[in-house]
Copies of this chain bind each other. A is one copy, B any other.
Amino acid sequence: MQSVQEVTATMRAKGLRATPQRQCIIRLLQDNHSHPTVESLYEEALGEMPTISQRTVYQTVHDLESLGEVRLLDLGTGSLRVEPNLENPHHHLACIVCGRVVDIPVEFPGLRVPDDYLGGFSVDTVEVVFRGRCETCT
C-alpha cells in the first residue's frame, strides 16, 4: 500500500474522511508483513486509541480493500488476513497450527489455466498456498 499521506489523499479524493482511526490502521499496516487479522490489528490499535471499536477496524480494512490499498486473504486459517503488500506479487506459506503466514516472493512461471480447462471461466487471480508447520509448531 501507499504511504499514509497518499492513502489519506486517495480517501479524501473519494469523499472518505481521513479520521484518526483510519490513519491509525493505515499506519499499522505500513511495511507490515505479518498478515494481521482484524482482531490483532484491533488489539494493536487499542494501544494508541483506547476507544476504537473492532467494528471500525472491520470497516476500515474493507474501505481500504475498496480503494485497492489492501487485499483481504482467506487462507483457511479461520479469519481474514490483511495483505498490504500489493506492490510485490508473491505467494504464501501458512502454518496449519498457529496460522502464521509468511511471504514466498517467488514467481512461478507458467502458472495459468490451460485453455482446455477454462470451461467458460474467466480467471482473475492465482494464489499458491503452501501449508505446513512453522518452526515453533513443530
Contact = CB atoms under 8 A, between A and B. Distances in A.
Interface of A: 74, 76, 93, 95-96, 102-106, 108, 110-111, 113-114, 117-136, 138
A91 B103 CA distance: 20
B131 A128 contact: no
B106 A114 contact: yes
6 contacts: A93-B123, A108-B110, A119-B135, A120-B135, A123-B131, A123-B132
Contacts of A103: 117
Contacts of A125: 130-132
A128 B122 CA distance: 16
A100 B22 CA distance: 35
A95 to B, nearest CB: 7
A124 B104 CA distance: 15
- 10 interchain residue pairs of minimum CB distance: A120-B135, A74-B76, A123-B132, A124-B132, A125-B131, A127-B129, A122-B132, A123-B130, A121-B132, A104-B117
B108 A108 contact: yes
Contacts of A106: 113-114, 117
Nearest to A131: B125
